[in-house]
Amino acid sequence: MSASIVQKFRPLIIAQTNTKCTGSVIFLHGSGDTGPGIRQWLQSVLGEEFAFPHLRVIFPTAPPRPYSPMGGAVSTVWFDRDQISPFTAETESLTTACKEVSHLIEAEVKNGIPKNRIVIGGFSMGGCLALHLAYRFHKEIAGVFALSSFLQTESSVYKSIKEDGSSLVPLFQFHGKKDCLVMYEWGEDSFQKLKSLGVEGQFHTLSHLQHELNRKEIELLKQWIVEKVRNN
Catalytic residue among 24, 124, 155, 190: 124
Q: Which residue ranges form the domains of the chain, and what is each CATH number?
A: 3-228 (3.40.50.1820)
- Is the separation of the CB atoms in 133 and 165 below 8 Å? no
Q: Is 200 exposed, middle or buried (0-12, 13-18, 19+ CB in 10 A)?
A: exposed
pLDDT, tens digit (0-9, with 9 covering 90-100), for 167-222? 899 999 999 999 999 999 999 999 999 999 999 999 999 999 999 999 999 999 99
To the question of pTM greater than 0.75 for the whole model, the response is yes
- Is the separation of the CB atoms in 61 and 12 below 8 Å? yes
Catalytic residue among 54, 103, 204, 211: 211
Question: Which helix (H) or strand (E) is 7 found in, with range?
Answer: helix 3-8
Percent of the chain with pLDDT over 70: 94
48 has pLDDT over 60: yes
Please name which of 34, 27, 197 lies closest in space to residue 119, comparing C-alpha atoms: 27
pLDDT, tens digit (0-9, with 9 covering 90-100), for 130-178? 999 999 999 999 999 999 999 999 999 999 999 987 889 999 999 999 9
- The answer to whether 189 is a known catalytic residue is no
Catalytic residue among 33, 148, 155, 179: 179
Tell me the C-alpha distance between 37 and 50, whole Å: 13
Q: Which band of pLDDT confidence, cut at 50, 70 and 90, is reported for residue 106?
A: very high
